[in-house]
Structure 1
């Protein structure tokens, strides 16, 4: 102590000692609280698989000292770890234990959801699809619509042989195809158009012009109700092989078909109901005979209306069996045709089938039923047939698609005393991507014309074809096709038609 300095006061020294003692007494309590918090927190963490290491700790709440060893998978180390974890957890009431269990379950569910939301790595095809198909046309935006047009220019060859008589021709074919689809947030309008114009360059043979226009307006009236309004126009040249074609005509009649309809589909829980009405108007142009004269065929013009109802039951979103019934009436412009027959008729039909939708792999509609057409003229026997109709799309692997189609139809006749025939058609089209820009096609078809008039033999038509499409880029493609069609009928000469062509497609 320095001379002259005042002596420290006893009260200050006593206060310092009391402050130091208070701090020292608080340290164990803080350490004890930290240990308790750490133990309760780790109790909610999922165990680490294969962890066998441990540390020595004292649990002040349990009043016992537990030690976990540091081993490598020994049974005693595992038991020690389990014992330490149990002893380190404080005793809890039933309510607290239930709350901790719920929190643990919530953690596990969150972890499982995180695993499901974490997809595995995709393959190269998946990466390609993310950037789009480099050979798919992009289309043109027209207001709120997307237009996808294409123009085709082909050079073709056709050989037609009936018995010992054969004719051939080389022709130029110009075609166009386009689709216009709305880009609306609700409802949708789709318009499809296709046209073909042929011109003979050499040889002789009938040209086959074609024009098709279809429109479909879908109205989303509610979550359970959808309405469709449809309209269409189709023009084609009647085939010389058709039983109703004019014998010896140099140019067959041009057939125009106008269609319009509406249908409404509504879901009533697991029940799906559909009701629709369709009207069809068909007109026939004049045929040109071999001497150059015209044969008027307006007595074949008619209008037909059909009302159809369907009820389906949803066994699952992918499987809906249904039953369907239809009633219709066809009315000819001329009550009596040129041969003195009344061709107007009443039609009834029904079928049962199933709709299948398994996504991209398999989807379609297949139904079996019965159809009958009764003519106003009592001299004409009713047309009737067991029907099988449907279409199936099967994709066994990416880039390979198989389309199957079945169609049954009743066709009235123009011959005296003949009612007509029932046609059964089956088609198959297989496409396969040989490379990203090279697509191969195979097609086949069979049609049976069942004449229900005594003394008329049935007619069978076979068709087989193959083709290739080489997509040069997004806007240009080259195509080549070859096909053979054979028509056979007992008592008549077989007719074979061979076709081949090559062309370019310009698209956008």
Structure 2
């Protein structure tokens, strides 16, 4: 590129000089006609530098002098053109002004012949991987791959102290305990469809009060099948294992130990999108079973009259106003069928319910996400002596992330339940739970929580208020090991005599996860 620029510049300079010298050349031709001996006017050094012309190329009638063949020689004495002195650095390459590094073409010696190949250059280092915007949690479990499904099993073994293992009123004898807990997370990695779930089971063993030892657990497994671009089939299954406290109003006699309760069921539905309109139809079946209780006298209290099956059908229509805001309306009908038509007090407890509610899912600046719904339910019983149970129902689940290190979770629910207390149609249960988690370090998280619940027994004037407050601490040593500690204060205030209790529970354990 530099050689080409140099050639263009030199050509331009020569053309400018020729244009300036053309009048002198024309005058020289005129003088040649008048004075043939023009050679004497040419400087000696110019005449010596001119080559001898070929006679064959000259015109016999109008011969051209030899000096004319060099037009620059005729204008050596012109003050406005090229100087008659030799340049000071004629032996050096001429560099055009303003073009740094551009010189005349240099003659270079021929390159030597290549007889051998040059040594290979060292391999270039691999390009650096671009760091993702969201860094992976260095303490999260990696899981176990089973095809395209990832399993994340975990176990936690803890020891602690409970001041009131049986949750009874009055003075109680505390006891140390050991708790064994196992978890299993399930997550699919499929191009279409999705499978996810979480299963948890635990057992608490009390050293000084064996009757208070009890299991607990819960789990859910969801499968989404993408039938078409706008159609999805939803399959769900769930279960919960719990125990009854001896002072429960539904146990009308003093019992020993903690009777078990089983809740399990499933649902199937289909969701279809029509532009921004989303329609969901869902059917469900849920089952509740109660274990017989053992009385202090040694007899057995049957709870078979509380076993029931619930069938439900729900239709929801939601419209996406914005990508983060989807309000919906929902209608549901259900029926509860008891295994025994008449309970131990002579009431027919089977019922039919109708529920209508409105709500919305939302996402505000990716800081606040959740779903809130509120509605009204009317439940009619087969026994005419039990009046309809009516009331407000709703659900709320809100997640707020004010800072990258702090997370606030709010959950609330209001629902109508069943009871076997004579003369009562059912219960109205409301509960709210608040958790605030803050990461002191990437592997150290402290969580404070509080829970408040109220259960009202319709037609009996019976009310129970439950309050719990506590804190949890988790210190992750590696991806595999973590230390957990917690403290919880529980209190129950009831209008029923001899039902209030207070309990303090502290425990610490080691978690092993894969």
TM-score with structure 2 setting the length = 0.73
Unaligned 5+ segments in structure 2 are 1-49, 65-69, 72-97, 99-129
1:402-458 alpha-carbon deviations (Å, 9 max, x no partner): 11111112121112222121001111111110111110011111111122114x232
CA distance in 2, matches of 1:314, 1:336: 47
CA distance in 1, matches of 2:139, 2:397: 28
Are residues 1:487 and 2:492 paired? Answer: yes
**Which residue of structure 1 lines up, in the alignment, with residue 78 of structure 2?**
none
Distance 1:319 1:274, change over 3 A: same
Structure 1 residue 386, shift from structure 2 partner: 1.1
Are residues 1:322 and 2:371 paired? Answer: no
**Which residue of structure 2 lines up, in the alignment, with residue 181 of structure 1?**
187
Of 263, 272, 283, the match for 1:266:
272
**Which residue of structure 2 lines up, in the alignment, with residue 366 of structure 1?**
372
Of 463, 468, 472, the match for 1:458:
463
Distance 1:342 1:163, change over 3 A: closer
SS, match of residue 209 in structure 1? strand
**Which residue of structure 2 lines up, in the alignment, with residue 278 of structure 1?**
284
Structure 1 residue 303, shift from structure 2 partner: 0.6
**Which residue of structure 2 lines up, in the alignment, with residue 414 of structure 1?**
420
1:442-491 alpha-carbon deviations (Å, 9 max, x no partner): 1111111122114x232211111101000011100001000111111235
TM-score with structure 1 setting the length = 0.73
Q: Report the aligned-residue RMSD.
A: 2.7
SS, match of residue 416 in structure 2? strand
Q: For the Cα contact (< 8 Å) 1:170–1:203, is it kept in 2?
A: no
Structure 1 residue 286, shift from structure 2 partner: 1.5
**Which residue of structure 1 lines up, in the alignment, with residue 453 of structure 2?**
447
Q: For the Cα contact (< 8 Å) 1:476–1:507, is it kept in 2?
A: yes
**Which residue of structure 1 lines up, in the alignment, with residue 152 of structure 2?**
148
Q: For the Cα contact (< 8 Å) 2:214–2:258, is it kept in 1?
A: no
1:323-381 alpha-carbon deviations (Å, 9 max, x no partner): 11110001111111222211100011111112112364111111121112111111112
Structure 1 residue 9, shift from structure 2 partner: 5.4
More moved, 350-359 vs 432-441: 350-359
Q: For the Cα contact (< 8 Å) 2:261–2:291, is it kept in 1?
A: yes
SS, match of residue 413 in structure 1? coil
More moved, 393-402 vs 456-465: 456-465
Structure 1 residue 316, shift from structure 2 partner: 0.7
Structure 1 residue 146, shift from structure 2 partner: 0.4
Distance 1:152 1:9, change over 3 A: same
Structure 1 residue 225, shift from structure 2 partner: 2.0
Of 483, 491, 495, the match for 1:478:
483
**Which residue of structure 2 lines up, in the alignment, with residue 433 of structure 1?**
439
Of 282, 292, 295, the match for 2:298:
292
CA distance in 2, matches of 1:223, 1:239: 49
SS, match of residue 458 in structure 1? strand
| Higher-Rg member (1/2) | 2
Distance 1:375 1:282, change over 3 A: same
Of 302, 310, 314, the match for 2:316:
310
Q: What does residue range 347-426 of structure 1 map to in structure 2 within 5 Å?
A: 347-358=353-364, 360-426=366-432
May I ask how many residue pairs the two structures share in their alignment?
A: 399
Q: For the Cα contact (< 8 Å) 2:197–2:222, is it kept in 1?
A: yes
